[in-house]
Amino acid sequence: MIDPTAAWRTQYRHPTPWTTEFPPLSMVDLFDRSAAAHARAPLIDFLGRHYSYAETLDGANRVAAGLAALGYGPGDRIGLFLPNVPHYLAAYYGILKLGATVVNFSPLYTVDELAHQVADSGTRLLFTVSAKAVLPTALKVLEQSGLERLVVGSVAGALPAGKSLLYRLFKGKETVAPPADPRILAFSKLIANDGRHTTPPIDPVADVALIQYTGGTTGVPKGAMLTHQNLSANARQVMALDPHPGEPDRILGVLPLFHVFANTCVLNRTVLNGGCIVMLPRFDAGQVLAALSRTKATALPGVPTMYQALLDNPKAASTDFSSLRVCISGGAPLSAELKAKFEAVTGATVVEGYGLSESSGVVSANPYEQEGKSGTIGQPIPATEVRLVDKGDPTQPAPEGEPGEVILRGPQIMKGYWGKPDANNEVFVDGWLRTGDVGVIDEDGFIRIVDRLKDMIAVSGFKVFPSQIEALLYHHPAVKEAMVIGLPDAYRGEQPRAYVTLNDGIAATPEELREWLNPQLGRHERVDQVVIRLTMPKTMIGKLSRKDLVAEVMAEGV
């Protein structure tokens, strides 16, 4: 039987030993130390306007002082309903300096989704901005929930002077003025103070810094409680993967900051290293390429669909990628073909990793410089243990030579789900976190995810892994995106069906794709159809959404 811990001790390919320890550290101390060391350096580049570490620290202190003056304090839950704007950093670190807990909300949430999570978390105050995409939703939630206050920032006010005027002139239809209401406070009014505030004592291991909502391993969204130590340890663990810490560090921050991937890899890890976040409000391939050329960015965390979109953009041919050293890919499997093509075009290394909200963002990754393994999620990051257990009984090890459910232990693993003791009992086994992902670990300690327990398709008693069929589809030159789902079948229980989008300029019919695919599959794995679509449903971060595809197909009557 393979002992992966032996491989991680003797054949570890990350620059920092797997046995490295990460002492308790609060997020406030992490931020304050970096701000003191890099006071004059730029922390944020927002469409050309720079905010230094000292300015951002001052903003965070003023947020903390302003919230304290309103009566908020340690243990309160305060929400962020924000796109990628500079207000996010001041509010995020300001809330932490208050000793309170940040609650992240997606700016794409509907009124019902936001209201449910505000109520579930007990969020008392919500930060947002005067954009039509978010403010009307926040206003309705203010009326319908126990939310006490809104703090509303101005996007135009965060831009360079010239762009601010252009924004007001040409983007006015995208903004909305908040109504006069004593429960609504302008961000500028909140921070109109001297910033004098004393942070209360924080226990990094026990105190919850962030509630990050997730679907979890199963079921409806739950709030993962991430402590100060969870977040600071994960930032330090990710930093430990970089063979050249301290070198010029300009990270393209286009992943949404409310998402745990960006929270660790774009925000906390960059602050830890004294780097600069080249912040973009949302993903637009042309804007990303322009920002890369303008700022000479060195890193780009993203999801596979983002990398494909960048390659597809006409501006890619004239973009200078020479400054880009590494791209961290997560959120979804990265095809070998896309990795090879992106690296050939850009000269940057694309590093595939893995993580989840319950692990503060990152669990494992391929090495930046030493040889990795395409199609794997690499080796665990330092101080992280990974095991495989039986898919039907997580108290037992996986049968030798067979895939098993991936379970985890490490300093970045959540404290538990907010207000959900029953869910905690299901997701933890003897202190190990169950991921719901099925994987294998090879003799070099590299981990390969083969599917999710809840995504497996049951065909006449056989388990079919959709990702294995999708991997084959990506080998066809016409296929750009692929998802396989199981649909009800009266005789077999479920029937696999494939959905694809096509690359420009390469034609293929559904019948041709099915006849090419099925001979490569076992009898029970074969799809009844390959359906060609113009688009695939995606999440906020651009990840293909199997859940939404199933909902769309079922609504169409299969």
Among the residues of 323-452, which ranges form H helices?
336-346, 421-427
Q: For 355-397, write each residue's pLDDT tens digit.
A: 999 999 999 999 999 999 988 999 999 999 999 999 889 999 9
Distance CA 340, CA 86 (A): 34
Q: Is the pLDDT of residue 216 over 50?
A: no
Q: Please state the rounded mean pLDDT for residues 94-122.
A: 94
* pLDDT single digits (tens) 321-362: 999 999 999 877 788 889 999 999 999 999 999 999 999 999
| Among 452, 453, 441, CA closest to 377 | 441
- Judged on CB neighbours under 10 Å (0-12, 13-18, 19+), 430 is exposed
pLDDT, position 164: 56
- pTM for the structure as a whole: 0.86
End-to-end CA distance of the chain: 44
| Domain ranges, ordered by start, for the chain | 4-12+214-452, 27-201, 456-555
Same fold, 4-12+214-452 and 456-555: no
Mean pLDDT score across all residues of the chain: 92
Is pLDDT at 543 greater than 50 in this prediction?
yes
- With a cut of 70, say whether residue 159 has pLDDT above it: no
Distance CA 283, CA 164 (A): 20
Q: Report the half-sphere exposure of 415 (CA within 13 A, side-chain side).
A: 19
- Is pLDDT above 60 for 171? no
Ramachandran angles phi, psi of 268, nearest 5°: -65, -40
Tell me yes or no: is domain 4-12+214-452 CATH 3.40.50.12780.
Answer: yes
Quick: pLDDT tens for 1-50: 678 899 999 999 999 999 999 999 999 999 999 999 999 999 999 988 99
Per-residue pLDDT at 266 exceeds 50: yes
Position 166 pLDDT exceeds 70? no
In this predicted structure, the answer to whether residue 215 has a pLDDT above a threshold of 60 is: no
Q: What is the CATH number that goes with domain 456-555?
A: 3.30.300.30
Q: Is 289 exposed, middle or buried (0-12, 13-18, 19+ CB in 10 A)?
A: buried
Pick the CATH number of 27-201 from 3.40.1350.10, 3.40.605.10, 3.40.50.980, 3.40.640.10: 3.40.50.980
99: pLDDT strictly greater than 70: yes
pLDDT tens digits, one per residue of 486-530: 998 877 778 999 999 999 999 999 999 999 999 998 888 899 999
For 133-140, what is the mean pLDDT? Answer: 95
Mean pLDDT of 282-294: 94
What are the DSSP E strand ranges found in 215-275?
Answer: 222-227, 250-253
Q: pLDDT at residue 156 above 80?
A: no
